[in-house]
Structure 1
Amino acid sequence: MADFLHSFVNITLRWQATSVAQVAKKWSICFQILLRPELDAAQIHLPNTLNDAAFFATFLSVGERSAIFASRSEVLAHYNPADRIYFFYLHTGQEIARIEFPSWCYEQGKVDFIHAAIFDDLKKGGGYPMTLVEAHEQATIKPSDQEEFYRLLQQICSAKGYALNYSAKSLSKRISKL
């Protein structure tokens, strides 16, 4: 049995899986075959839609996170190896979120802090990160601010002798607000 497990682990290390769920799916098939030798892989049916979120939803309780994984995204091949991205999955209470962070956070032992801070932020925001709510409010330009900007722009252009023209689309948007 030990020889089988050793061979099994060596084989699974060579799998080219793009997600945790794919590895889990393959492990599940292997263990079903191991535990029920009368079955072969063709007789074992797993859902085709198994993804990382669905996989971790069965194991994580609200507020818990998964182990840490290194991203294997193809875009990272264009970056310095020191700029690796790590991630974990977090059960937010409403969904399984993938939380990504730079390698230096992992190397400096900041992962537990990231986990706690994000989950606390989610609780404060009622399931949506409060910092993102506040950032959206800060980044949104109020209609009164837009009108003030256009008024100042018109004033500057007039003083310099420039004609300020609006596109039909822009005019229709400005008129519909009035």
Structure 2
Amino acid sequence: ALVATFAEVFEPESQDFYVQCLLQLLRASEQSRIPIVAYIDTTYTSDLVTLLKHCFDLPEAPQLHDAQLLSPWLEWGDRTPFFICARGGSLNPQDGILNSYQEMRERVGFVYLRTNDNFPARLEIPVWVYEAGLLDWLVDLVRCEVVIGRGYPYVLETADQIAVIRNEDRNLFLRLMQDWAAREKLNLRLSRKTVSKLQRRRVR
């Protein structure tokens, strides 16, 4: 996500870490004119629900989220108009994490895009992409990735598969760690089951 609402529950130092990383990313994207997009497959944000509530003086609907609201109206490949994110805080509406985004405070937008049979996905995109007339091109790229990935962007699926630590990698790491701890005379405690597995695999 480009809007790090998830970090609002963290202590200030951790919040600042996420904000600074995202600010670097957003600034680099705008300066280099390289589009970026955050793909959120399952989202419970309620930016549009909150907008409608304020515009039409509607009652609170805490169980309703944007993707749920939009789902009946979007066929596969359909997207919503582009919106600029002006979200308040999840804990305090006046104190959202976007307040820490400095000049990028109003430079992150979003659309919802139907990519499979579930609720629409949320795409968070820098505002400069929309201003440069590249929004449709970028959303088309996401549609292509989703087609290749059979409902989920292929590039993300591939990155996830590569990032997952396989059992062999995990066992090698634990064995190296155990050897290092023994060499440094550190009291590293592994379960007997793990030690047994590592010793058996070392023999092979």
TM range (shorter): 0.5 to 0.7
**Preserved contact between residue 121 and residue 131 of structure 1 (Cα < 8 Å):** yes
**Preserved contact between residue 178 and residue 188 of structure 2 (Cα < 8 Å):** no
Q: Distance in 1 between matches of 2:139 and 2:80?
A: 10
User: Quick one: structure 1 residues 26 and 96, their matched pair in 2 at CA, closer, same or farther if it must change by over 3 Å?
Assistant: same
In the alignment, which residue of structure 2 is the partner of 1:80? 102
Q: RMSD value over aligned CA atoms? A: 3.4
Q: Distance in 1 between matches of 2:174 and 2:62?
A: 53
Sequence identity, in percent?
26
Higher relative contact order (CA 8 A, sep 6+): 2
**Preserved contact between residue 109 and residue 126 of structure 2 (Cα < 8 Å):** yes
Q: Secondary structure at the match of 1:89?
A: strand
TM-score w.r.t. the length of structure 1 is 0.63
For residue 165 of structure 1, report the CA deviation from its aligned partner.
1.7
The answer to whether structure 1 residue 20 and structure 2 residue 42 are counterparts is: no
For residue 23 of structure 1, report the CA deviation from its aligned partner.
4.5
Q: Distance in 1 between matches of 2:164 and 2:146?
A: 21
* Corresponding residue to 2:185 among 162, 166, 169: 162
* Corresponding residue to 1:89 among 112, 123, 131: 112
Q: How does 1:97-176 map to 2 (within 5 A)?
A: 97-158=121-182, 160-163=183-186, 165-168=188-191, 171-172=192-193
TM-score w.r.t. the length of structure 2 is 0.56
Gaps of 5+ in 1: 1-17, 31-40, 42-46
Q: Secondary structure at the match of 2:172?
A: helix
User: Quick one: structure 1 residues 174 and 138, their matched pair in 2 at CA, closer, same or farther if it must change by over 3 Å?
Assistant: farther
**Preserved contact between residue 86 and residue 101 of structure 1 (Cα < 8 Å):** yes
Report how many aligned residue pairs link the two structures. Answer: 143
The answer to whether structure 1 residue 52 and structure 2 residue 74 are counterparts is: no
Gaps of 5+ in 2: 1-45, 88-95
1:80 is matched by which residue type in structure 2? Answer: Q
Q: Distance in 2 between matches of 1:175 and 1:80?
A: 53
